[in-house]
Structure 1
Amino acid sequence: MRSVTQSSVTALAAALLLSACTTSPHGRPAASAEAPPAPGLAPAASPQELVAKVDIPYEKFVLANGLTTIVHTDRKAPIVGVTLYYKVGSKNEPRGKTGFAHLYEHLFFGGSANVPNFDIPLEGAGSTSTNGSTWYDRTNYVETVPTGALDLALFMESDRMGALLPAVTQDKLDKQRGVVQNEKRQGDNQPYGLAEYLTAEGLFPVGHPYRHSTIGSMADLDAATLADVQKWFTDHYGPNNVVLVLSGDIDATTARPMVEKWFGAIPRGPEVAPVAAGPVTLSAPVSREMTDQVPVLRISRDWSGPGLNDADAVALRIGMHILGGLSSSRLDNALVRGNQMAVSVRASAMVFEQSSFLNATMDVKPGVDRVAAEAELDRVMAEYIAKGPTEDEVRRAVTSVLSGEIGGLEQVGGFSGKGATLAEGEVYSGDPAKYKADLQAIAALSPATVHAALRKWLGRPVYKLAVVPGVRTEDGATMGGWGDEDTTPRKAVAKSAKAAKIGPAPRRTAPPVAPVGALAFPSIERTTLSNGIPVALARRTGVPKLVMAIDFDAGFAADALDTPGTQGLMLDMLDEGTKTRNATQIAEEQERLGASIRTDASLDSSSLVVSALSANLAPSLALASDMLLHPAFAPADFERARGQAMAELAQAQSTPSALAGRTLNAELFGDHPYAQPGDGLGTETSLAALTPQALSAAHAKWVRPDLARITVVGDVTMEQLKPLLEQSFGAWKAPAAPRPNKPLDAAVPAPSARVVLIDRPNSPQSVILAGRVLPLTGRTPGEEPLMLANDVVGNGFLSRLNADIREDKGWSYGVRSGVTQNSGPRVIEVMAPVQADRTGDSVRAVIQNMSAFPARSPITTEEFQRVTEGAIRALPTQFETNAAVLSAIIRNDRLGRPEDYYVRLAQTYRGIDAERIGGAARQYLQPNDLTWIIVGDRKIVEPQLKGLGLPVEVRPAPTGGDDATDGE
C-alpha cells in the first residue's frame, strides 16, 4: 500500500466512519425516528455494558533517547503487531515541499545500511505485508510477525531509524518519486477525484497546515532532492519523535531488553516544533463549482471543525453519524427514502489532531432540478441543526459505533487494531488509553450535548461545492500544493542545500528467526437443521461478537438463467422492507442491536451476512430471518432501488478499474454464466426490464433452504446457536420446484490475444486488465504449485511484476496478478494502472516478465523461500479475525476441500519443489492469448500499441448507463 489514504483519525473515529453504512444504501420508506423496538425483540445491551467490554491493558516505558514503547499482551495467537508512529506528517511541510512526508515514507522501504531490502527478510519470516501510510499529523509503519520473527523486525525497524541515509541514492529517490506521482494520478483519475483538493482550499487559507494535500503537487514532487531527504530524516525521524507499540504474544519484561538492544544506541533527534493548525471560521459562505467526468451531480456542505482533543469532537462524530452515517440517517430518510431527490447521501466528521473536516454530501438523482435539490439539502440540515437529534437517534448511533469498536479489537496490529489504538492515544493525547475516555464520553452523550456541538460548529458560514457532470476542466497535476504558486514563483521558494556525503553506518547483523509454531485453525463443529440446512461453527471468544453467513448456490452467474442484474437487485431489496417491517424499521433495529445485516454476492454465491454482538444474537437472528424469508418487493421501494442501481452502474462505468472489470468477463466467457459483469449490476437495458414480480420470482427460485449453507464464527456455543437457528430458520421448507442448475460446465470461447481499448479522454492514467480462462475449475485438485507460481509473478509487493513496473520503473502505484477461485472455470488476471504515456511499455513489460518465468528466469532461491517457507510462517497471521476464518471455511466447503485444508497447507507447501512451481508457470501463466482491456485516453494510448503485434479494437467509454461492450 505505502499509501496516503490512511487517516490519522483515532481507531474510534475509524470505527465510526467504517460503520456508516451497515446495510445496503438503497432507499427505504420513512418511519418515525422514535419507533420502538418491534415486539418480540429482547432489549439491546446498553452503551455502558458495551464500553465495559473494551479494554486494552498495556505497559509503557521510555528509553534514554526518548523512544516511547507501549506493550500490550494478547496470547490468542503466536504473532506480534509491530506499530511505529512518527510524529510528523504533511502538516509539517514548508512551502515548496508539499508531498514530501509521504514521498519520504515510500523511501523508508527502500533499504538501510544493513538491510538492502526491507520487505524480503520480513515476508520470508512470515510477516504480513509490511506497510506504511501518511496523513496530516503522522507517518506510521506496521507489520504483524510471528513471535519468532519479532527480534528480526525490531532489528530492521531500528536500522532504518538509525542508519537509513547511507543507503538512499538519487536512483531510489527518482523511482519512488515516480511511484508517488502515479499514486496521485490514480487518485485524480477517479470520478470526483479532484474534489478533496477544492474542499481543503475552500476551508483553509494559504499556508494553513491542513490546506495542502498529503499527496502534494506534481511540481513539488519533481523538485524534491536528496538534500531534502537528508534534512527530513535528521529533523523528524529521531527516536524521541516516535511511539513504538508491540501488541500480541509479547510482554513488557521480554520486550524491554529487545527494544534497548536494537534502539538504545540511536541518538536523539531535534525536537519537532509544533505547528498551528486549528479550525478556521469562514467570514462568509463560499460556493464553488467544478465540471468533471462524473455520473451524477454531487453537492457538498463542508466546515472545518475542532481537533480530536476538543470536548466537542466526540459529540460531532455522533452528530454527523446521525445526520448521514446511520442507515436510518436524517439525510437518508429525507432525501433518499423520502422525496427521492438523491441516489445516495453521507455525512461524517473526519477528525484529526488539531482540526477536523465536517462534511455532508448528496448525490443528486438524475432528472432532479439542481436548485431544488440544494434547497432541500439545506432545509434538512438547517432543521437538524436547529432542533438536534432525538434520544433514540443518539442511542442507535452510539450502539453502532461501540459495536464497531469492539469488532476492531480482534486485530493486534495493522492500521486500525490494538496497536494503532494505543499509539494514537499516546501520539495525539499523551495517553494510550484515550480510546477508553472517548468511548465513555460517547456512551454518556445526551441529545442536548450533541445538539450544542452541532449548533456551535455547523452554525458557522459553510463552504459549498458542486461537482457537475461534464468535461473535466481542472488539472489534478497542478492541484494539491501550497496554494500560492500562481503568485509566488518557484525561485522564491527556499533553495535546497546540496546533499551531504553520508559516511558508512556501523555494521550490524540480522538475528535469526526462531521456530514458528504450526497454525492453530479453530476446530469446526457441524450439525444440520431440521429442514436440512448444514451448519458449521468455529467458536472463538476473543471478542463478544460473531459473524454468520447464509450462503446460497446462486451468485451473479445465476443471472445467466434470469435477466442480468436480477440477483444483485433482488439481494439489495432484502433490507428494503418485509411484510411486517419497513426499511427504516429494519435499519433502526440493527442500530439498536449493534448489528450489521447485509447482503453480498460473487459469481458463485449469494449471501446474507450477519455481524452481531453475542449478547444480542437472538433478536439479531430474528431480524435477519424476517429480511431473508419475507421480503416485500413493494413497487415503490423497487423503483427507488432500481434508480439507485442505475446510479451505481453509471458510477462503475465512470471508474476506470470498474469499467475494465465489467468488460473483461464478457470478452473471456461469451455465453458462459461467468460472462455476467462481476459487479452484478447488469446493464442499463436489463435493469430497465426488471420488475418487482421478476425479483420475487428470483427470490423464490434461488433463496431456498436446499441451496443454503450456514457458517458461524465467534463467541457462541453450538448448544446456544442451534436452537436459535431452528427458531429463526428451521421451519423454512424447500419449494416443490426442482433446484435450479447453473451450467458452469458450458463451453467458453477459445483464448484470443487482442486489445480492447476503451477511449476515456483526459485520463492521466491507463488501467490495464488482462486475462485468460484456464483449463481448470475451482474443484481441480493440486492448485498449490500454481498459486505459488503466481506469488512469484504478480501476487504481492515483492512479485516480479510489481518490482519491475512499480519499484524499478516507477510507472505505476501497484501491479498485481491473481488466479480466481471460482467454482467453475478459473481465470488468470493481471491488473496494472499505469501512467498514460507508458501504457504500451507496460504491456510489453508484463509480457516479458510472464514469458521469462521459468524459461529464461527460473525461480530464485530467495523467491522460493519467500513463497513457501515464508508463506508457512505467515499462516498464523492470516486468520486473526472472525471474518477471515469465516471466509476460509466457506471457501473450503464451496471448493470441496477438507476442513483441515489450511492446517495441512504447511505440509503441502513443503512438498512442492522449485521445478513444480516453474512447471505451473510454464503451463498456466504465460502471456500468450491474453485478452487485454485498456481504459485510457485513445489519442495518447493507441499509438503506443502499434508495435505489440496485437489486434486493437477501439470502443468509446460509456456515457450514462450505456454498456461498454458495443464495438466502435
Structure 2
Amino acid sequence: MRQFAAVSLIALALSACTTALPDRVASAPPAAPAAVAEPAPAPLADLVRAVDIPYESFTLANGLKVIVHTDRKAPIVGVTTYYRVGSKHEPRGKTGFAHLYEHLFFGGSENVPNFDVPLEGAGSTSTNGSTWYDRTNYVETVPKGALDLALFMESDRMGHLLGAVTQDKLDKQRGVVQNEKRQGDNQPYGLEDYAIGDALFPIGHPYRHSTIGSMADLSAASLTDVRKWFTDNYGPNNAVLALTGDIDAATARPLVEKWFGDIKPGPLVPVVAAAPVTLSAPVTRDLADQVPNLRLTRSWSGPGINDADTEALMVGMDILGGLASSRLDNALVRGSEQAVQVSAMAQQHEQLSFLQVAMMVKDGVARADAERALDAVIAKFLADGPTEDEVRRSATRLVSQEIGQLEQVGDFGGKGMTLAEGQLYSGDPAAYKKQLEKIAALTPAEVKAAMNRWLSRPVAAINTVPGTRTEKGETMGGWGDEATTPAPAPDAKKPAPKLATGPKRTAPPVAPVGDLAFPAIERAKLANGIPVTLVRRTSIPKVAMSLNFDAGTAADALDRPGTQSLMLGLLDEGTATRDATQIAEAQERLGATISAGPGIDSSAVSMTALSANLSPSLALLADVVRNPAFRDADVARVRDQRISEIAQVESNPGGLAVRSLAPILFGAGHPYGLPGDGLGFKADVSAQTAQSLKAAHQRWIRPETLKITVVGDITMDALLPMLNASFGDWAAPAGIAMAVKDIARPAPAPQPRIVLIDRPNSPQSVIVAGRVLPLTGRDADKEALDLANEVLGNGFLSRLNLDLREDKGWSYGVRSSVSSPLGSRALTVVAPVQADRTGDSIKLILADMAAFPASKPVDKVELARVTDGNVRGLPNRFQTNAQVLGAVVTNERLGRPDNYISTLASRYRAIDAAAIDTMARTYLGKDGLTFVVVGDRKVVEPQLKSVGLPVEVASAVDSASKAGK
C-alpha cells in the first residue's frame, strides 16, 4: 500500500479434526443474570432493502468500463480506479512488481511532474492506492470543480506514464517499498503471513507469495522490467473507473471520453489458474519471535468470492470468532480463560479465500492444553452447527456494517470501491446487494454444511512461539524456490531503451469552491440537566452518538495509571442484569456497536445504531454506562487481558516508542505524563480490584460531567424522549464528590537527549521525538500553526516525508503532529526508518526543522497547497456521521463556537506566508526536542555519537515508568 498513515501514533501504539474437550478448564464463570426483555429489532429484510447504490454504466471503445453513482449530499466526487492486476499475476523473479508499480504511479507522468501536488492543492483527500492479490486500485475524492483535473491526471498516468518513469524514480520507490516491507516484518508476529502462504500452497501457486514480494526481486527490478510490466497490464481494457458523488452519467461521459478515449487498449491480463488447495496432510510450523504470548493459528484455503459457499463461510467464521459473542470468545476467553484474544475470519479474494482462526494464548497456559481447547471448539462447531439466533445476529451485524459504508462516496471502503469490485470480480456492480440478500436468507444448515466442507480438510497450523527470532523477513515473501534454483538477476542499472512519448497535454483549471455549509447544530437538555447536541443528517438510516465525561487518562493522575482504560473496558463485561455475552448478543441483534475508551481529557462511550433500532439500543447503552457490575471474576479476567495487552504493546517497536515519550516530556507527576496509550503499568493494573474500579466509576462517570452528542437520522423531537427514558433520571451518587484534575500543572524544563531502547534483531528503528509547547488547546487563532505543521510533517507532501521517504528512501513514512488537549500542547515527530540510517535520519529531521523558516521559508507552492487545498477539501472532511461527530465533540471540548467549522475557509484564506513562518519559528523548531529510539542497540548506538545529543540507554521494561522521574 502506498499510503503512509501507517506511521500514525495510534497505529504504532496498537500495532492479523476431532479433538477431546480440554483437560484444563478454569473455574466456571458466574451464572448469567436473568435475561432482559428487549423490544424487537427491525426485520433483517427491511435493513437489506436500505442498502442501495443505484448506478449507470458505459464502456468506451477502448474497453474502459465506467460506473457512475449520483449522491448530491456534498459537492464532491470520488474517483476510484481499479486495474485487473495484482500480485497473483507476478511471474517467478518478479514478486512485488504490482505493488512497486502502484508506488511508481504517484511519481508523476509525462504531463504531470508530481501526482500529489496538484490534487492536494485542488482539495483532494485520501489520494492513495493499494495492491492486493487480484487488483491494484487508486482513490481520490475531489471537489466537484476539480473532477476535470482528476480525470486528466488519472488518464495521463494510464496512457502517458512511461516517459516519466526514470531510473532515479525506480530506485527511490524501491527503497520506500523495501522499508514498507521492513516495517511490516518488524512487527510482532510479522512473519506469520509469509509462513501461512508457504504452508497452504505449492511453489508457483499465484496466492502463495506475499504482495509485498521478495527483497531480492525488488532489488533486481530493472527499468526495462517495470516498463514491460506497465505495457502488459495497465491498458484501459483492464480497468474499471467508478465516479461517485455529485456527478451523473450524462455529465461524466463526455469528460471521460475527452481524457481517456484516445488511450489505446493493451493486452488483456491473462487469467491465472489459482484454485483452492486441499492439503494432503496437516502441516505444522513454529516461528520463534520476540513476542510475549504464544499465538496459535489454523488456516485453510477456501472458495473464491463468487462461490455458492462464500456467504455461508462469511457468517460461519463470524460466528466462530468474529462476533463479540463468538464461540471462541465464549469458550476460551470468557469460559476457560485460556486465551486473551481470539479471532476467525474468511478473507475473500477473487479466486479463493483464506479461512483463518487465531488464538492468543494466556500466559501460563500449557501449549498442549491450549491447542486441544482451540481444536475442540472448532470441532464442536462443525459437529453442531450454528443456531438460528447466531446466524441472524451475524447477518444483522454484516448488513449494518454495509449500511455504514454508504456514507462515503469514495476512498477505501466507500461506494466507489463497492461498485468497482463488484464489476471487476463478479461482472456486476450490484454484486454487494446479491451477497447481502444471500446472507439475510441463510439457514443454520447451510452454514454448517459449508463450514464442514471447507474446515474438515487438513489444516495448516502456523504458531508463533516466544523466543529469539531466527528467521528473517528479508528472505521471505518470494516465489519459494530461490534457494535451490536461483534466477539470473538482471542488471538493475542497465539503461532502458528510449521511449516515444505522447502528445503534450495541458491540465485543466480547477473551478472555484464555495464556503462549506456545515449542518445545523441543535441543543437541548434532559430532565436532569444533561446537555444534548444533535446534528441531523439523513444520508443513511443510522445514528452515531458519543457520551463524553470529564475524565480521560489525565484522571489517572489521581488514581492508578491505567484506571480509566481498564474501568471503561469493563463497562460491557457485565451489568446488574446482563453478562458480557448477553450484552454482545444484544448489540448484534440490534446492529449496534458500543465502545468505550479514554482520550487524554475525556472518557467517551460511543455507539452507532440503526435508526430503526435506536430506542432499544439506547436502553442497552444506558444499562452499560450506568449499571456496570464489576464482578470479581470479570475484573480478574479483563485485568489479565490488559496486562497481556501491555506486554503486546511493549513488544511492538512503535507502541513502545509512543508509550515512552509522554512520561519523558511531562514528568511522571503531570496528568499528561503517563504512557501515551493510556494502558498504565503492569504493576498498577495488577493491583486494581472491583472496589477500586467501582470507586473510579462513581468519581468520574456521572451525570454532572456528561455531554451527549448525536449525529444522524433522527429529529430532536424523537430523540429527547428516548434519551430522557435512558438518562434523564440519572442522579449523582450520594456522598461522593467529583474529582478535579490539575491539567494546568507545569511540565518540567526540557532535557534534550536521545533515549535508546534496545530491541535486538530489528530491521527498522522507530524514532519518536517531542517537545511540550507553551500553548494550550484552548488558545484561539492557531490555525496557522496547523498549516505550518502540514508544511513540516503532517501529510504526504510535507518536508519531512518528502525528504526521508521520497528522496532518501529510508522510511515508509514520517509524520509530525501538534496535539490539541485542554492543557499543554505537544509537538511530536514519528519516523520508522531502516536501522542503518537511524543516526542520519535524526540529523535530517533536525536539519529540516532548523531550516524552517530560517533558510527555507514556506514557498508559494506549499502555501497554496495548505491554504487552498484545505479550503477546497473541507467538504471531504465531513462525509460521515463519525466525522461530523468528532468535529462537534472537539469544538465543544475546546470551547469553540458552533460556527467554527463554517468559518474555517475564511480563516485559512486569511493566513499568509508570514503567519506560517512565524508559527514555524515559534513552535516547530528543533531546540528542546527529546528523542526516543527503539531499535537494535548494537546497530544504532554507534550512529548516534555524531548527532550531538546525549544518549541514554533504557530497557523496554523501565523506559516508560522511569524515564520521566
- For the superposition of Structure 1 and Structure 2, which TM-score range results when normalised by the shorter chain? over 0.9
Given candidates 247, 264, 268, the residue that maps to 2:261 is: 264
- 2:662 matched to which residue of 1? 665
- 2:718 matched to which residue of 1? 720
Matches within 5 A, 1:115-264: 115-264=112-261
- 1:24 matched to which residue of 2? none
Given candidates 425, 430, 437, the residue that maps to 2:427 is: 430
- 2:916 matched to which residue of 1? 917
Matched, 1:92 2:70: no
- 2:528 matched to which residue of 1? 531
2:964 and 2:158 map into 1 onto residues whose CA distance is: 55
Given candidates 351, 361, 365, the residue that maps to 2:362 is: 365
- 2:385 matched to which residue of 1? 388
Contact 1:96 1:493 in 2 (8 A): no
CA, structure 1 residues 929+496, in 2 after alignment: closer, same or farther (shift >3 Å)?
Answer: closer
2:46 and 2:472 map into 1 onto residues whose CA distance is: 51
1:53 and 1:541 map into 2 onto residues whose CA distance is: 12
Matched, 1:900 2:899: yes
1:52 and 1:489 map into 2 onto residues whose CA distance is: 55
2:201 and 2:955 map into 1 onto residues whose CA distance is: 39
Give the drift of 1:493.
8.9
Unmatched 5+ stretches in structure 1? 7-16, 18-26
**Secondary structure at 2:946 match in 1:** helix
2:27 and 2:507 map into 1 onto residues whose CA distance is: 59
2:891 and 2:60 map into 1 onto residues whose CA distance is: 48
Matches within 5 A, 1:418-817: 418-491=415-488, 499-670=496-667, 671-735=669-733, 736-817=735-816
Number of aligned residues: 945
1:36 and 1:107 map into 2 onto residues whose CA distance is: 60
**Secondary structure at 1:401 match in 2:** helix
2:91 and 2:342 map into 1 onto residues whose CA distance is: 36
Give the drift of 1:497.
9.4
- 1:9 matched to which residue of 2? none
Letter in 2 for 1:359: Q
1:542 and 1:163 map into 2 onto residues whose CA distance is: 38
Give the drift of 1:734.
2.0
2:99 and 2:31 map into 1 onto residues whose CA distance is: 47
Give the drift of 1:117.
0.4
1:36 and 1:739 map into 2 onto residues whose CA distance is: 33
Give the drift of 1:5.
11
Give the drift of 1:949.
1.2
Letter in 1 for 2:843: R
Letter in 1 for 2:804: I
- 1:321 matched to which residue of 2? 318
Deviations 1:521-557 (A, max 9, x none): 1100000111111100000000000010000010011
TM superposition outliers: structure 1 runs of 4+ over 4 Å: 3-6, 27-33, 492-498
Letter in 2 for 1:523: A
Give the drift of 1:688.
1.3
**Secondary structure at 1:490 match in 2:** coil
Contact 2:639 2:685 in 1 (8 A): yes
Unmatched 5+ stretches in structure 2? 7-15, 17-25
Matched, 1:832 2:831: yes
Contact 1:425 1:432 in 2 (8 A): yes
2:809 and 2:435 map into 1 onto residues whose CA distance is: 42
Give the drift of 1:727.
0.4
2:197 and 2:468 map into 1 onto residues whose CA distance is: 22
Contact 2:167 2:223 in 1 (8 A): yes
Matched, 1:411 2:408: yes
Matched, 1:82 2:79: yes
Give the drift of 1:491.
2.1
Give the drift of 1:689.
1.3
**Secondary structure at 1:505 match in 2:** coil
**Secondary structure at 2:126 match in 1:** coil
- 2:2 matched to which residue of 1? 2
2:738 and 2:629 map into 1 onto residues whose CA distance is: 23
Give the drift of 1:957.
2.5
- 2:945 matched to which residue of 1? 946
1:164 and 1:142 map into 2 onto residues whose CA distance is: 18
Contact 1:796 1:816 in 2 (8 A): yes
Letter in 1 for 2:943: Q
**Secondary structure at 2:488 match in 1:** helix
**Secondary structure at 1:245 match in 2:** strand
Given candidates 394, 398, 421, the residue that maps to 2:395 is: 398
Letter in 2 for 1:213: S
**Secondary structure at 2:523 match in 1:** strand
**Secondary structure at 2:80 match in 1:** strand
Deviations 1:145-189 (A, max 9, x none): 000000000000000101100011000000000000000000000
Contact 1:771 1:829 in 2 (8 A): yes
- 1:12 matched to which residue of 2? none
Letter in 1 for 2:137: N
Deviations 1:79-111 (A, max 9, x none): 000000000000000001100100010000000
1:907 and 1:767 map into 2 onto residues whose CA distance is: 38
- 2:22 matched to which residue of 1? none
CA, structure 1 residues 374+255, in 2 after alignment: closer, same or farther (shift >3 Å)?
Answer: same
Letter in 2 for 1:442: I
1:5 and 1:527 map into 2 onto residues whose CA distance is: 38
1:28 and 1:261 map into 2 onto residues whose CA distance is: 71
2:725 and 2:791 map into 1 onto residues whose CA distance is: 49
Contact 2:661 2:960 in 1 (8 A): no
Matched, 1:60 2:34: no
Deviations 1:928-947 (A, max 9, x none): 11010000000010011101
Give the drift of 1:74.
0.3
1:4 and 1:405 map into 2 onto residues whose CA distance is: 26
2:490 and 2:463 map into 1 onto residues whose CA distance is: 33
Contact 2:4 2:796 in 1 (8 A): no
CA, structure 1 residues 5+916, in 2 after alignment: closer, same or farther (shift >3 Å)?
Answer: closer
CA, structure 1 residues 567+302, in 2 after alignment: closer, same or farther (shift >3 Å)?
Answer: same
Give the drift of 1:500.
2.2
Give the drift of 1:129.
3.3
TM-score, normalised to structure 1, is 0.96
Contact 1:28 1:576 in 2 (8 A): no
Deviations 1:904-955 (A, max 9, x none): 0111111111101100000000011101000000001001110111000011
Contact 1:665 1:677 in 2 (8 A): yes
Letter in 1 for 2:712: G
CA, structure 1 residues 4+431, in 2 after alignment: closer, same or farther (shift >3 Å)?
Answer: farther
1:53 and 1:677 map into 2 onto residues whose CA distance is: 43
TM-score, normalised to structure 2, is 0.96
**Secondary structure at 2:77 match in 1:** strand
- 1:378 matched to which residue of 2? 375
Contact 2:549 2:604 in 1 (8 A): yes
Letter in 2 for 1:869: D
Give the drift of 1:707.
0.8
2:437 and 2:496 map into 1 onto residues whose CA distance is: 50
Contact 2:34 2:578 in 1 (8 A): no
Matches within 5 A, 1:823-902: 823-902=822-901
Deviations 1:401-439 (A, max 9, x none): 100110011000011110000000000010001001101
Contact 1:28 1:583 in 2 (8 A): no
